[in-house]
Chain A
C-alpha cells in the first residue's frame, strides 16, 4: 500500500474535482439567469387536477386542456394543484414545475416559435396520468 507512490491517483482525483467544480459553477450561473423572471411577464395561473390542466389568463379567461399564448411575449406560470401532486411540463420549452396542493410554484418562458406543442404531466398522479395531456398554441402576433 505505502510501497508505491500515489501521484497518479492524486492527479486523477484532481481532474475529477476540477470537472465537478466547473459543472457546478456553470450550473449555478445558468440557473441564476434562468430563474430571473422578466418584470413584464404576463401571469397565467395553472391548476392541475386528476387528470387535466386548467389555465387562467390575467384577463380572467379560462382554458381547459389547451393554452393559447402569443409569440415573443414572456409568460409567468403560477402552478398549483387541487388534489395530488402533478408536474406541469412543456418539454419543447423546458418548462417543468411540480403542481403541489397548498403551494404556488412559479416558472416562466418566452415562446419563440409559433405552432403547437405538447403539454403533459410528469409526476405520477394515478389512473389517467399517462393521458393528462394538453396542447400549447403559440400564435403569431401579426
Chain B
C-alpha cells in the first residue's frame, strides 16, 4: 500500500527510490511547492494592479520578472509535474504492470526538475514565458535570461524522457489480457499527451539553442539586419507550445474521466468516444499553432488556414464535455469534493473553449490579442480547467496516499472560494481586455472602468488565495490527524475501480 505517512520511512529511501509510487510522491510534493510559490507571485501581481501607480512592487523590471516566473513556474513546475505524479501512481496499475517500463529513467526525469527549478527562480528572468526574439536576444538582462534558457532546456529533456517512459509502459508493458482499446481513459490521456510531447518538444529545444547562440553572438538566427527573422522564433515556439496546451489539458480531462463515472455511480457514457476525442485532438492540435501570430503581419491566406485548423480542434473538446454530461445524466451523483472540482472544471472548460472560438475568428482576434482578454482566456484553461481537475484528483488520491480522509467541509470551502474567485478574476479579465487594457503592464492610466475592473479582479484573486490557504491547512492537518480512511471505498460509493494502494512498493511491508 501507499500509506506514506502512516508508515514513515526515512526521506532518503523515498528520494533514492525508483519505484513508481515514490517518484509519484516526489513529483507531487514538488509540484505543490511550485503551485504555492507561483500562486504567491500572482497575488503580488494582483495587489500591485489594485490601483494605478506603484503599490507594493518597486519598479517595472521586478514586476516583469515576477509575471515571467509566475507563468514559467505554474506551467512547467506545477501543471506538468502534477500530471506526471498522477501518471506515475496510476498508469502502471491501470495497465497492470509492476512499475514504469524504465524505473531509473523515471527517477532521472524527476531529478532533472529541481535544478531547473533553481535556475528559473535564482535567475528570475523578465522576458515573459514566451521569450520572444529579438527582445530575449538583444534586450533581456543576463544572466537571468541565460539561466531561464538552461532551465527550460533541462525541463524539455525531462519531459521527453517522461513521455518515452509513459508511451513504452502503456504500449509494451500492459497486461496481454487488456486490449489497448479497453485501457482506462486516464491511461489513454497519458498515451496521447506523451505522443504530443514527443513530436512537439524538439522544436522548442532547437529554438532555445538558437536563442542561446544568438545571445552569445555566435549566430544571427533572429536578427533581420543580416537576413534572420524574429518571426521564425515565434513559429518554433508555438509549434511546440500550442500542442503543449493540449499536453496540459488532456491529463486533466483524464482525471475527470476517472472521477465523474465513479461519483455518478454509472459507467462512462462512451469509452470509445473519449479515446477518439483524445487521438483526434492530438492530431488536429498540430494544425493551429500560428493563431497566436495573426498580428505579426500574416497574409490573409495564412490566417485563414490557421483559423480553420484552430476551429477543427473544437469538436474533440466538445465531445469530452458531452461525454461527461451524458455520464452524469440519470446517475446517482455524490457531490463530494473531487466531484465538485470536476464539475466546476467542466463548466469553466466550456467557457474557455467558447472564448477560444472568438479568439480564433480573425477579425475578433485583433480586438482581443495581447489584451487582458487573452490573460482571462488561457487562465480559464490552466486554472479553471487544469488546476481544478488537478485539485479534484488530489482530493481523490489523498486517502490512498495518506491512509486518512481530508476534511470534506474544508475541501468544499476550498472549491467554492476558488470557483467564485476564478469566475470573478478570469471572466472580468475578458471584459477588461475588451476595454483595451494590454497584458503584461506594471502600471495603467487611471481610466475609471479599468480601475474598477482591476480592483474586482484583485478581490477575486484574494478569494483564490484564501482558498489555497484553506487547502494547505487541510492538507497538512488531515495527513497527520485526519480520520483513518476506509481504503476499500473512501466515499462509500460502491463498485470496484482503480485503487492506487494496489501498487506493491518493495519498501512497504505487507
Contact = CB atoms under 8 A, between A and B. Distances in A.
Number of chain A interface residues as a range: 35 or more
B451 to A, nearest CB: 15
Contact of B296 (A12, A17, A32, A100): A100
A66 to B, nearest CB: 15
Nearest to B298: A105
Nearest to A128: B60
Number of chain B interface residues as a range: 35 or more
Contacts of A102: 224-225, 228-230
Contacts of A94: 366-367
B270 A1 contact: yes
Interface string B289-303: 000000111001001
B64 A24 contact: no
Contact of A98 (B139, B296, B322): B296
A124 B128 contact: yes
Contacts of A6: 270, 273
B438 A120 contact: yes
Contacts of B438: 89, 120-122, 130
Nearest to A31: B362
Interface string A26-56: 1110111011000000000000001000000
B178 interface: no
Contacts of A101: 134, 224, 230
B441 A16 contact: no
B315 A17 contact: yes
Interface in B295-327: 295-297, 300, 303-304, 307-308, 311, 314-315, 318-319, 322, 326
A50 B304 CA distance: 32
B477 interface: no
Contact of B318 (A12, A85, A97, A118): A12
B272 A20 contact: no
A123 interface: yes
A94 B371 CA distance: 12
Interface of A: 1, 6, 8-9, 12-13, 16-17, 19-20, 23-24, 26-28, 30-32, 34-35, 50, 83-85, 87, 89, 91-92, 94, 96-98, 100-103, 105, 118, 120-131, 133
15 contacts: A13-B319, A17-B315, A24-B308, A24-B361, A85-B135, A89-B370, A89-B436, A98-B295, A101-B134, A120-B436, A124-B127, A129-B64, A130-B441, A130-B444, A133-B445
Given A31-B362, A97-B297, 4 more contacts: A8-B326, A91-B436, A102-B229, A129-B441
